[in-house]
Structure formats: structure tokens, C-alpha cells
Structure 1
Amino acid sequence: MRLFKKLENLESKKRTASLFKKLVNEILPPPPELTVSEWADTYRRLSSEASAEPGQWRTSRAPYQREIMDAVTSRDYEDIVIMASAQVGKSEIINNIAGYHMHQDPAPILLIQPTVDKAKDYSKERIAPMIRDTPVLRNLVSDSKSRDSGNTVLSKSFPGGFLALTGANSPAGLASKPIRVVLADEVDRFPVSAGSEGDPVNLAEKRTTTFYNRKKIKVSTPTNKGASRIEKEFEKSTKEYYNLPCPSCKEYQPLKWAQIHFETVEHACKECGALHNEYEWKLQKGKWIAENPKARIRGFHLNELLSPWKKWKEIIQAFKDAKEDGPEAMKVWVNTSLGETWEEQGEQLDDSDLFNRTEEYTADVPEGVKILTASVDVQDDRFEIEVVGWGLGKESWGIEYHTIRGNLSQPKIWEELDEYLSRSWSKNDGSKFSILCTCMDSGGHYTQEVYKFTKARETRRIYAIKGKSTGKGEYDPLVAGTTRAKPSKTLLVHLGVNEGKSKVMSNLKITEFGPNYCHFPKGKGYNEEYFKGLTAERLETRYERGVPYQVWVKTRARNEPLDLRVYNTAALEILNPNLEKEYANSQQQRKKKRRRTASKGVQ
């Protein structure tokens, strides 16, 4: 009897459990087993702030993205590398991976940007709009305005996990909670070390060790050969390229720049040589083909030729423009259009070659100059100043390299500096030029004096500047932002001097007159010592804990001429003049003057 009752109770419990399970499944059905691309096609909504095509996500719009996203849901790989150009949807791939895990496979997620500031910007400009406009995510993440919200700029909580955002320059953000999914974006812009803690990528990866199903995704546009993190990772991977079949012979192949014909805007088949336009190629069904299929890391390479958002005609024109603008522009094009590294020329420029190409000017300001800028380097006993003229295509002319010596603690030398920066220079036709923008170094022992001097002259665009200190390998643009220095409230322009030196050195290597060529006059302070200072640094690749980075190294004690040319280049960027318009206006004025002269001759 007791045995019977036990069996009866057991059967009752089974019926109750079965009924409960049935009710749960009806009320809360288990999430479907979707891949990332299937999730995006079903649920993801693109926001108007981040997309030119807002609305329902369609992977078919850029079919090469499907395999990349779905690699995340594959159990075969835990490391995924994406080395890619711009305009191929890298950010949206990252967003879809994050959104998928928030909704379908909850986990602690870490999204790393190069800096904390960039992480905040990414959160506001990419993540927040995605959550707002994708209903299934909006229902998971609480409103940031609610009192008990787990939704802040750098942290988004949801049932079963969270999305944390941080910068590669923040040791604290990289070394706290366990993480299952790491999304490292633009790793080539990461510093070599997060403070003194070491490689930020390694710090983040260590946080995944407790998860058997961890995923580590690294994404970046590459930078310089030998110092590119993403290229180093890609070389260890399966090295997959998206191949399309030739519309004529059906031979699969990646789209390559060398096979693009400029005149017809067509791509030649590597096998049969047939030419087809981009629409014919992109209509074909492609597939990823691995060069190293046995690798343990899944690696994908993308270039802009595949992009549905960038036309080949535009890419060709961008290439032509970059070729005209010189090596620095070509570097950017190779990185951002081809998704390939740029090989820097590490050799030091020859100062005697530059000195030997000095020219005789027939006036203070040569004919091609449209505007003037100046730069000031502050030493303990002197000001060193360079005035530079700029023309069409950022072709430059050194106007004068000048030194004012004196006691910087006395007002007289500051008055002399003000007088010098107020003077004008003339062309052969008598037209006068004044300095439109001046960048003045605020480092050294006279910082407050510089602030006082520039504060009173901001209306003349005389600005205090400060080289931005960055971690090893960290990138900053030449003009890297502004602040107001305390207590004077002086406008302080921060400069990425490494980027500036790269620009200057690239321009100095140009040997033909035209865009970005640097002219120098005979005399006017441009002596042999000047060119020794202009070429006093070279770019070297170094390693810290196995991570390569590039650094500018002084080979001579005096490098003020190089610094001043960097500051002048920054002054031009601050002004951002339309030199083409200036050129057109000057041509019209010249024609009018000729007509007036001719009419007087007739009279």
C-alpha cells in the first residue's frame, strides 16, 4: 500500500512538472536558435543617426557580412579577426554581435574603443540609438532616466548580463569583472600599454578565462606595416578573402585594386581577362575562401571594392586625389580603401639634399602663395619663428625663419614678437599678406607668459598649443581638440605631434613641384643648420612586451625647425581654408588687373 502511494505521488509530481513546463513554454517560449545574421534580419533596426539607410536590417545588402557575424555563433572558433577598410559595415557587425547577445544569448560583454572618450562617443552615437530603435533591446535595457537604472553611458545592464564600454587607455576598465564576449574595435589605435598594466588586448582577454564559450573579436582598419596589431593577428588566422565568380568564366576570385581599369571603371578577371563593371560583379553570389584553413583563429579581410555604399568611380577618384596630395594622403587611402598596411620609409631624410634645392625668390611672397601662417617655439633665451606660405594643393613656401633673442622675463622681447607677427609681406605685384594664424608653443618655463600673450591676441588667431601626450602606439590627429587653460582661460590647442611629423616628413620627400611640395628660399634663415634641425628625427619601430609600436627618435640635439613646421601645418588645419577658391579668386583678380592695364594703354 505504501509503495502504491509513493508511485501515485511520483506520478502526480511528474504530471504537475509536465503541466508547469507546458505553461512556461506557452507563456515564455524559449528563444529560437538563431545565428547573429538571422537575429539581425529578424529584429535589428538601423537608426537614422548612424545609417544612411534607416529601418529594418538586411544582411543581403552586404552579403559578405553574413559569414563574419555567424562565425560568432560557431563553436569552432573563439577568436575572430576582421581587418577591413572603411565603408564596409564594421561598426554594424560589432553592434549586431552585441545586440544578439543582449537578446538571445545573455552574457557579460566588453566593448573596447581606443580611448574612454571614444567609448563614450560610441555609446551615445551607436549603442544608445540601436537600443532605442530595436524594440527587443529597448524592452531589455531600462530607461537611463529611471532611478534604479542599470543604463549609463558606459554600462548597459540587461537580464543575464551587461554591456560595458571602456577605453584601451583605461586599466581600471580592462581589469575588473569576468567577461565572456570581448569586442575590441580599432585595435590599431590602441596604446601599447594601458597605463603601466600592459597590453590592453591581453588584459581584456584574461577576463574571459573562466568561460568555456568565450568569444574574442578584434576589428580594425590597419595602419603601418610592422606596427599593425590587426595585421599581426590576421597573419595568424585563416586569412579569408571574399571571392566572387567571374560573370564570364565563373572563376572565383577576390576583387583586387590591381585589376581595376580606370577608364572603363571595370574589374578584369584574373583567369579569362574579361572586363565587367561593379554591378555585374556584385550581383554574383560570393563565398569566403581561406588561405590558411587549419588556423585556430578565424580571420576575414575586406576592402572597399566590395562595399555597397562606395562606388568604384568614387574610389578611383579618391585614389587620384590622394596620389596628387602626396604620401600622407596615399597612406590614408591604402589603409581606409584597400584595408592594407602602409609601409613607412624609415630612413632619415638627407639635410644636404634639402639645402641644395633652395630657390631664389623674386619677392618676399612667391606667386603661388595664397595665405600665410606662422609658428613660434619658446626657448629660455629666444623665440624661434617660421612664417610659411600655402598654395593650391597645400604646396608650401618657407617665407622666413627668424630668431628673436632676449630675456623672456622682460616685456621688451614680447613686444618685439608681437611687432614681428603683425608685419606684412609683399608679392611682386605689390599685394600685401599678413599672417592669418599662428601656433605658439606653451611648453617650457614660460607657460603662463605664453597664455597671457595669446589670450590677448585670440582675435588675430594667435593660439597657444601643446603637444598631446599619448601612450606608446596611441594615435591622435594633428589637431586633437581644444581646452581652456586655467586660470587664464586661454584657448589651448592640443596637437598630435606624431601625426604632424609624419605629415611633414611625407611632404619633404616629394621631389616635384605641385601639391604638398615644400619650397625653401635661399637665405631668409634657411641655412644648413636649419635643414639639420628639420631632419633631426626619424621613425623607428620598437617593441614593448612583444607589441610593436612606432616612435619618432631624435638623431640631433636641435629639432626646432621640425617642430615649427609641424605647428605651421597645424595652423593651416585650424584655418581650413579653401585654397582652390583662393586660387580662383586670385586668377580673376589678375585678369581684371591685366584688363585695366590694357585699357589704360589704349587710352
Structure 2
Amino acid sequence: MKVTMKRSAVAIVAGILASGIVPPPQLSAAEWARKNLVVPDGPRAGELWDDSLTPYIAEPLEMCATESGVNEIAVRKSAQTGFTTLMIAAIGHLIATDPCRAMIVQPTSGALKEFNAEKLDVAITGSAALNKLVKEQASRSGDGSTAVRKKFRGGSLKLAIASSAADLRSSTIKKAFLDEIDEYPDDLDGQGDPFGMVEARQESFLMSGEWLRVYVSTPTIKGGSKIDGYFEGGDQRYWYMPCPGCGEKFKFVFDRKYFRFNDEFPHEPHYATPCCGAIVEAYEKVSLMKRGGWVPEASRPGAYPSYHFDALTSPFVPWEKIAARFVEANQDPLKLKTFNNLTLGLSFDMKGDAPDHVRLMERREEDVVRGRIPAMGLVFVGTADVQLNGIYYLFKAYGPDRQSWRVDAGFIEGATDDPHAGAFLKLEELRTKQWPDAYGRRRAVDLFGIDSGYRSHVVYTWVRGKAATFALKGLDGWSRPPIGQPSSVDIDFNGQRIRNGAMVWGVGTWSLKGGFYANLHKQGIAAGQPADPPGYCHFGSWMDEVYFRQITSEYLGTEKIKGRTRRIWMPRAGEQNHFLDCEIYGDALGDYLGISRMTPDEWRELASMRGLPDGVVDADMFAPAPLLAAKHVAIQQEHVQISEAVDRRTPPPETEGGWYNSNDSFWDR
């Protein structure tokens, strides 16, 4: 019997060999991540990536692949939305399927170190598909990965920081992933901004069109946010869902006309859709979100994909928490900025116009007694600003709702080149003074801070060894915290290195100034309102025009730098700002002491420690009632003390110790 084969043995063998050589079908970025990427952190850490919980990640992830034909992507987001995983997944897909030279840029060395150690390295070692491709850092061949570069066959991933020109100009790259870009500097040593330097690294790929830049960030302030610019330059995609009532597409927005909740716990938040008013309960949020999709609101030729996503839609943040955050902000400009940025993913409209100084002077109050800590001034701080021929100083107290009272302010004339003489001697007397309060007690400042920007070495020596005394340094930038972690300096005022140097505390002055000016604009009882609002600023009738001109001496202006627009604080022509600096540093110390974070119970405990009489410590320290009660008690106490002082023919408590303004004698005030 003869068997006839349709294919020769050679053809069969060749076919088998070919099947082993031909690569498997190319997986899309999202498909690759679902099959290979192990999530490095979060509620599903250690598990394969599953976008069923975060379906909004899949589309922008696909845009990061070369075959998408997209060159730029922008993501404006709130915190805790999962977009860090987007970048890790895109990088993993690149390593596995499209190896090339790439770069990821973080704003600071600390952020880069954290990203590498807690996210990227964890994802690489935990994902078998990546672990076998990325070379070990401990390789002896010299061809292995390093702390700043992940190497793999056909390419590498450089880890860079936005503040280092050397990092950004050192190599040609095809793809760049730029994280938290609102924290990037505007200029690098006069060499340009980080974005221009990254773009220059991609020149070789412009003709082929294979380059990619991904911009991801939470925003900062309106008019100065970098991610706002990139988002608005794209087609502005939002996550739309079908209305459960009528089926019309809508998106969640933070508008209390639609997002409704109680101002007290339980907040019971729910959403009324704008189309037909159908109610979406908090427990229905996630299931409704999963039925949504991206819809561009600004489609036009040349617009790249840009995305906005926030906590209102995020599966990770309950509506109850969002409502609580807004209520807890309690009109605090800094907290509202944080809420807008980190919860809503929106830039904050910082009010940068100071009120007219004459109008502020008209608000002065007779019962704000110089040298006397007011009834509700439970937190008490002092600050100073050193100049060539003297030192400006300010002492102020804060109440439970961030209202503030000026206790004393002035200028100490004298030399400032020696920390042991001149104006510093008089400043030390003020720093250590025991100040009378409204209840007959005496208190020292809780914290004292002094600007170290001028005569730095003298200031370092003066603060060294002093309890509760900070050397402060103002820092530019909208992402700076009110007061950061200190750094040590070990130089004395003669320029000699010493051990156990002073600590210098950085102060994020830009946001603090915005908050201070917002508070100055608030209207209270003096303007006919029923109560003074949270954050209201009280001034004594003893305060002169110099002080008011100085605290209103700056405004929020716009300038162009290297072709980009940014918003910065600018001085008014011919005006000085020393008392403004003292005010801002005082607010930084207040933030350090927790005036915006303390709970009502903590305020009540502090009030008890300060000796407030019974009846003043109300059940709700934030209500207007205790403020009015305290004011009444304070007036009574003041009348009693003054009467007793007159009987004894001695100065009343608020005059003891004298003042060091050269134009101000002991009694003549």
C-alpha cells in the first residue's frame, strides 16, 4: 500500500521550526498588564493588575503604546486614583514589547527614591515577566542596572529628578514619563525649564513620530498650574456615566446643588443628577462608575488626549470622606486649596489682592489691648525679621477657629551684626517675656521664629540652644508645606564650623500668603456681620499705618519665564514687607502647633490648661457662643484688674515690661 503525503517531511519540519520562531501575537498595553503586572501597593498589592475596579485606566494606558500613534498624554488627577499604576504598567509594557531608551522624572530626589523603592522595584521583582528582563543591580559585568538606571535588552529606563539639569540633558530618549509636574522648577540654573530639556532629548525621534511624553500631576493654583496647561491643551476628557433615571450621560462635579450632604456628621452624602434629578446613593457610586467611559469635551484638530479624574468618581475614596474634608476645611484657605488639589483634582483660585490698608485700619478694635493675650488666644507665637539696623517683631495669638489677635508689634532699633548685643539683646527680652492674659495669668510664647534670610550666621548663633525657637527660611513654590522638615547648619556667625549646629526650618510662604490675604478680606462684627468668621484677623487701635502698609505690600502677579506663565508674589513699588513676613512666619508656627488640625476636644483640653473660667469652655468650641462669652468675661476681668491697679497706683498688667519701639515710651502708648 502506498501512502501519499500532501506535504514533504522537510516542509513539516520547517513548519514546526517556524512556529517556534514566529513571536506570539502582540498584546496591547492593557492586555499585557492584566496578564503580567503585579500591583506594587494599594488594596490589591501583590495581585495581578485588574482594571475591573479602575476601568478608567485602560484607555490612557493604551495611548502610551507606540502603535497608538499618540505623542503626548496629560492626566490631571486628585490623589489616590491609581494613575501611578498607569505609568508603571506603561513602563512594563515598554520593557516587554517595545524596548527602547526611556526616562521617568520625579520632582525631587526624595520622591524619586520613594517611587523606585516602594513602587517600581516592587513591581519589577514581583512581576515574573519583568524580573527576567530587567538586569540585576548587583551584576558584576558592569552592564547591570544601577540605582538611577534600569537596564534591559534593547533599552534602559533612566530615573531622573526635575531639579537636576545633568539628569535631564544626559541622554537621548524615546519615551518620557513626567510625574507630579506641578512641583517641577520653572528654570534650571538659567538653562531652561525641565520640559524643554526633556523635549530636546527626543529630537532624534521627531521625524519618525515615535516619541512619547506623558504628563501626570495633581494641580496647584489657578493660573500657575503646569498640569492645567497641558490638560487644557488636549481634548479634555472626563469620565461620563449613564444617569440611572433617564440614561443621559453625566459626570460627577463638586457642586452642592448636585452633590448634597449634611454639614454635621453623619453627612449622608448623595448625588442628584443634573439631567432629571435621579438620586445616586453613596453605595451606588462604584457600580455606576464602572459603567462609564471617557468623553472629550474639547475635540479639535491637533489636540492630544488629556484626562481629568478625581475622588468624586474614584473607587477608593468614599463620598462620606469627601464631605467631611470639605466641612473640616471650615473656610480655611489653605485647607480649601488642599481639598481642591488632592480631592477634586482642580487648581485653587488663590486670591492675591490685598485689601486696602486704610480699610483695614478702620477695623481696629479698642478692646484688643497691647501686650495682653486675648481671652480666646489659646496658642501664642512670636516672630522676627532681621534688617541692617534693627529687627521687626510680631506677637499674635490664635483661637480655636483660627481667628488671630495681634498682641504686640514693633521695630527694635540697633545693630544686628552681633547675636549677643545690639537689637538682639532687646529681642531676647521680648522672646522670654511673660505676657499677661485676660484671666490674670502670665504666659510665654509657645514658639518663636526668626527669619534667617539676612545675616544668616548671626541668626543661627542667636537661636542655637534656645528652647522653642526656630530659625526660619522662606521657600518659593505652590507645593511647599507651610513648614517642612528642618535641616542642620553648622556655621557660627564668624563663619566657623561647629558641632551641634542650628536647625533651619523651611516655610512655604506662597500658599501661606494667599491664605493670609484671604483672611484679611473676611468681614466680621465690625462690618455688621452676626459673628467674626473663622480665620478673622483682629487688630488693636494702637497699631499704626506703617504696619498696615507693610502687611498689604504684595500682590499675586503673573510673569513669563522661558515662554511659560507662572503666578508669583510681587512687591508693590516703594513698599516694605517686613511685618508681612512676620505675619506669614507666625502662621507657619501656628500650623506647626496644629491650629488647623486640633479637634474640639483638644482645644477644650488646651483651654482648660490655659485657665479659662467655667462657662467659657463651651461644649462646642467652634460656635460663636463661647467667643462672645469669653469676650464678656475678658472685659470683666480687665475692668477688675485695671481698678485694682489704679488702687495700688501701679501700671496695669498689659504695660509691664515696657516696649522697645524708639518712638514709644513706657507709659506713652
- TM-score range, shorter-chain basis? 0.7 to 0.9
Q: Give the corresponding residue for 2:641.
A: none
- Asked if the contact 1:319/1:333 (under 8 Å) is kept, the reply is yes
- 1:542 counterpart = 2:559: yes
Between Structure 1 and Structure 2, the one with more strand by share is 1
Unaligned runs of 5+ in 1: 1-10, 596-603
User: Secondary structure of 1:305's partner?
Assistant: coil
Q: Give the corresponding residue for 2:97.
A: 104
Q: Give the corresponding residue for 1:66.
A: 58
Shift of 1:455: 0.9
Shift of 1:419: 1.9
Q: Give the corresponding residue for 2:458.
A: 449
Q: Deviations over 1:190-233 (max 9, x none)?
A: 22223222131122123223233222111122222222222222
Q: Give the corresponding residue for 1:502.
A: 514
Matches of 2:237 and 2:87, distance apart in 1: 18
User: Secondary structure of 1:448's partner?
Assistant: helix
- 1:572 counterpart = 2:578: no
Q: Give the corresponding residue for 1:267.
A: 271
- 1:179 counterpart = 2:179: no
C-alpha RMSD over aligned residues: 2.6
Between Structure 1 and Structure 2, the one with more helix by share is 1
Amino acid at match of 1:98: I
> Residues 153 and 354 from structure 1, CA distance in 2 versus in 1: closer, same or farther, beyond 3 angstroms?
farther
- 1:518 counterpart = 2:537: yes
Residues 25-44 of structure 1 mapped to structure 2, 5 A cutoff: 30=23, 32-44=25-37
Deviation larger for 381-390 or 143-152: 143-152
- 1:427 counterpart = 2:437: yes
- State which of 324, 327, 331 in structure 2 corresponds to 1:320: 327
> Residues 430 and 271 from structure 1, CA distance in 2 versus in 1: closer, same or farther, beyond 3 angstroms?
same
User: Secondary structure of 1:479's partner?
Assistant: coil
Shift of 1:362: 6.1
Residues 375-386 of structure 1 mapped to structure 2, 5 A cutoff: 375-386=383-394
User: Secondary structure of 1:65's partner?
Assistant: helix
Shift of 1:547: 0.6
Matches of 2:359 and 2:297, distance apart in 1: 45
Shift of 1:311: 0.8
- State which of 338, 343, 352 in structure 2 corresponds to 1:337: 343
- 1:490 counterpart = 2:497: no
- Asked if the contact 2:352/2:517 (under 8 Å) is kept, the reply is no
Q: Give the corresponding residue for 2:426.
A: 416
- State which of 73, 77, 91 in structure 2 corresponds to 1:80: 73
- Asked if the contact 1:182/1:204 (under 8 Å) is kept, the reply is yes
Q: Give the corresponding residue for 1:399.
A: 407
Percent same amino acid at aligned positions?
Answer: 26
Residues 127-526 of structure 1 mapped to structure 2, 5 A cutoff: 127-147=120-140, 148=142, 150-211=144-205, 212=208, 213-258=210-255, 259-263=258-262, 264-284=268-288, 285-296=291-302, 297-322=304-329, 324-361=330-367, 364-409=372-417, 411-413=420-422, 414-444=424-454, 446-457=455-466, 460-468=467-475, 475-486=479-490, 487-488=497-498, 489-512=501-524, 513-523=532-542, 526=543
> Residues 573 and 330 from structure 1, CA distance in 2 versus in 1: closer, same or farther, beyond 3 angstroms?
closer
Q: Give the corresponding residue for 2:581.
A: 563
User: Secondary structure of 2:43's partner?
Assistant: coil
Q: Give the corresponding residue for 1:52.
A: 43
Amino acid at match of 2:199: E
Matches of 1:291 and 1:529, distance apart in 2: 51
User: Secondary structure of 2:447's partner?
Assistant: strand
- Asked if the contact 1:120/1:154 (under 8 Å) is kept, the reply is no
> Residues 337 and 362 from structure 1, CA distance in 2 versus in 1: closer, same or farther, beyond 3 angstroms?
closer
Matches of 2:599 and 2:275, distance apart in 1: 45
- 1:94 counterpart = 2:87: yes
Shift of 1:32: 4.6
- Asked if the contact 2:351/2:517 (under 8 Å) is kept, the reply is no
Unaligned runs of 5+ in 2: 1-7, 263-267, 491-496, 525-531, 617-669
> Residues 246 and 506 from structure 1, CA distance in 2 versus in 1: closer, same or farther, beyond 3 angstroms?
same
Amino acid at match of 2:426: E
User: Secondary structure of 1:169's partner?
Assistant: coil
> Residues 341 and 198 from structure 1, CA distance in 2 versus in 1: closer, same or farther, beyond 3 angstroms?
same
User: Secondary structure of 1:230's partner?
Assistant: helix
- Asked if the contact 2:180/2:216 (under 8 Å) is kept, the reply is yes
- Asked if the contact 1:227/1:549 (under 8 Å) is kept, the reply is yes
> Residues 463 and 97 from structure 1, CA distance in 2 versus in 1: closer, same or farther, beyond 3 angstroms?
same
- Asked if the contact 2:352/2:514 (under 8 Å) is kept, the reply is no
Q: Give the corresponding residue for 1:528.
A: 545
Q: Deviations over 1:443-480 (max 9, x none)?
A: 22x322211111121xx121212223x5xx67432323
Amino acid at match of 2:603: Y
User: Secondary structure of 1:334's partner?
Assistant: helix
> Residues 262 and 575 from structure 1, CA distance in 2 versus in 1: closer, same or farther, beyond 3 angstroms?
closer
Q: Give the corresponding residue for 1:3.
A: none
> Residues 205 and 431 from structure 1, CA distance in 2 versus in 1: closer, same or farther, beyond 3 angstroms?
same
TM-score by length of 2: 0.80
Matches of 1:237 and 1:34, distance apart in 2: 27
Matches of 1:586 and 1:570, distance apart in 2: 20
Shift of 1:43: 1.7
Q: Give the corresponding residue for 2:493.
A: none
Matches of 1:135 and 1:53, distance apart in 2: 17
- State which of 93, 99, 114 in structure 2 corresponds to 1:121: 114
User: Secondary structure of 1:481's partner?
Assistant: coil
Shift of 1:54: 1.6
Q: Deviations over 1:535-564 (max 9, x none)?
A: 111010111232111111111431101111
Matches of 1:220 and 1:117, distance apart in 2: 17
Amino acid at match of 1:535: T
> Residues 342 and 123 from structure 1, CA distance in 2 versus in 1: closer, same or farther, beyond 3 angstroms?
same
Q: Deviations over 1:300-335 (max 9, x none)?
A: 11121111110111111211222x142332222222
Q: Deviations over 1:88-126 (max 9, x none)?
A: 112121221112212232221111122344323322232
Shift of 1:570: 1.8
- Asked if the contact 1:31/1:104 (under 8 Å) is kept, the reply is no
> Residues 394 and 130 from structure 1, CA distance in 2 versus in 1: closer, same or farther, beyond 3 angstroms?
farther
Shift of 1:16: 8.8
Amino acid at match of 2:502: T
User: Secondary structure of 1:188's partner?
Assistant: helix
Q: How many residues align structurally? A: 570
TM-score by length of 1: 0.88
Shift of 1:531: 0.7
Q: Deviations over 1:349-401 (max 9, x none)?
A: 21112221122336601111112111111112212111111221332211110
User: Secondary structure of 2:519's partner?
Assistant: helix
Shift of 1:23: 4.6
